[in-house]
Amino acid sequence: MAYGAPRTHDLSPATFEKLRQTSTATLTSQLLKRGFRNVFLGGLQALRPDLRMVGYAFTLRYAPTREDVGFEVEYDNETNVQRLAVEAIGEDEVLVIDARGETRAASFGHILATRIKNRGAAGLVSDGALRDTPAFREMEFPTYIKAPHATTSSVVHYPVDMNVPVGCGGVLVMPGDVVVGDAEGVVVIPARIAESVAQDAFEQELLEEFVLSKVRAGSSIKGVYPPDEKTLAEYSEWRRRSGEDS
């Protein structure tokens, strides 16, 4: 059985770096300006809030399990879609698991996460639970979950497909979407607009750095946030002096 489709958009190294430096809050603002309102995955927590995550979505979809399916293939590396996904995910890809928001059992564990990390994966996102969370907190691997749960996945989950459109945290995630994570959470960016979103978000944060410096110095937000023409002129001069335009 064939799963999914090849990625159609690859980002430049410069864009990757801009996304690593830009907050998910700023990215959601830029996406809202482009008409995208539902792009931030709700209800997830970062197990390693000190790590940033940027990569391409590689999706895994779970259905509810049933007693006559799933258990006989739980540890079968040749037929279990979860196991197949572990050996299919590639470099700079983020495993995004559609666990239906279900937290009565884990959706993934530490050994499988170690394998995808060694394959070059950029992170792990699940709108369900994970087991082995103490080990995840010691792992240099960006991971986002809804809750911890020690019980194995097959108690409530049946893996049915990979690299297909899924819902995660109430958000549509397409294979190849750009997935960015920080301490606040995870945002999904359609790949075809990721370059422009990254550039505009980077510019927005430079402007907001200048605005914040004025507010910290005692300025009113009037004419500053949002900036009027006078403030924008001051900002242009600040950029020139600081070398940001070079």
Residue 193 is labelled as binding a ligand: no
Q: Tell me if 110 is assigned to a ligand binding site.
A: yes
**Annotated binding residue 149:** no
Is 109 labelled a binding residue? yes
Say whether 92 counts as a known binding-site residue: no
Q: Is 112 annotated as a binding residue?
A: yes
* Among 159, 193, 160, CA closest to 176: 193
Distances (CA, A) of 90 to 70, 111, 136, 173, 229: 25, 17, 20, 17, 47
Q: How many CB atoms lie within 10 A of CB 68?
A: 7
Number of residues that make up the chain: 246
User: Helices 24-33 and 194-216 sit at what angle, rounded to 10 degrees?
Assistant: 120
CA separation for the pair 34, 197 (Å, rounded): 9
Binding residues for Mg(2+): 132
Q: Residues within the annotated binding site for substrate?
A: 109-112, 131
Q: Write out the binding residues.
A: 109-112, 131-132
